[in-house]
């Protein structure tokens, strides 16, 4: 496997922590946490977009992210 390139140290730390927290390191989880981890705002709001108890993406949380990209703001 090729070396993973991270946007920042925080990105890398988030990626590692979320894989450990989820207990799953398959391709889906690696890709999801890598992509979400690029954004500081998304990292702070991970529990709004991923349900660790059910091990799945929260569709409503992802819609909130679309609003954020359109200029809205996520509530902290």
pLDDT along the chain (76 residues), means of 10: 91 98 96 94 91 92 56 48
Domain annotation covers residue 50: yes
Domain annotation covers residue 74: no
pLDDT at residue 1 in the model: 62
pLDDT at residue 59 in the model: 83
Domain annotation covers residue 1: no
Q: Tally the domains of the chain.
A: 1
pLDDT at residue 12 in the model: 98
pLDDT at residue 28 in the model: 96
Determine the angle formed by the axes of helices 27-37 and 9-22, rounding to 10 degrees.
140
- List the alpha helices (DSSP H) in 23-76: 27-37, 40-44, 46-49, 59-69
Domain annotation covers residue 32: yes
Residue range of the domain that includes 58:
9-69
Domain annotation covers residue 4: no
pLDDT at residue 14 in the model: 98
pTM of this structure: 0.79
- How many C-beta atoms surround the C-beta of residue 66 within 10 A? 9
Dihedral sign for Cα 19, 27, 44, 59, please.
negative
């Amino acid at each position: 496997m090729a070396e993973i390139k991270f946007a920042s140290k925080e990105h890398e730390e988030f990626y590692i922590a979320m894989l450990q927290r989820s207990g799953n390191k398959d391709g889906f989880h690696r890709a999801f946490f890598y992509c979400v981890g690029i954004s500081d705002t998304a990292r702070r709001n991970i529990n709004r977009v991923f349900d660790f108890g059910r091990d799945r993406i929260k569709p409503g949380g992802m819609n909130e992210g679309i609003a954020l990209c359109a200029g809205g703001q996520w509530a902290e």
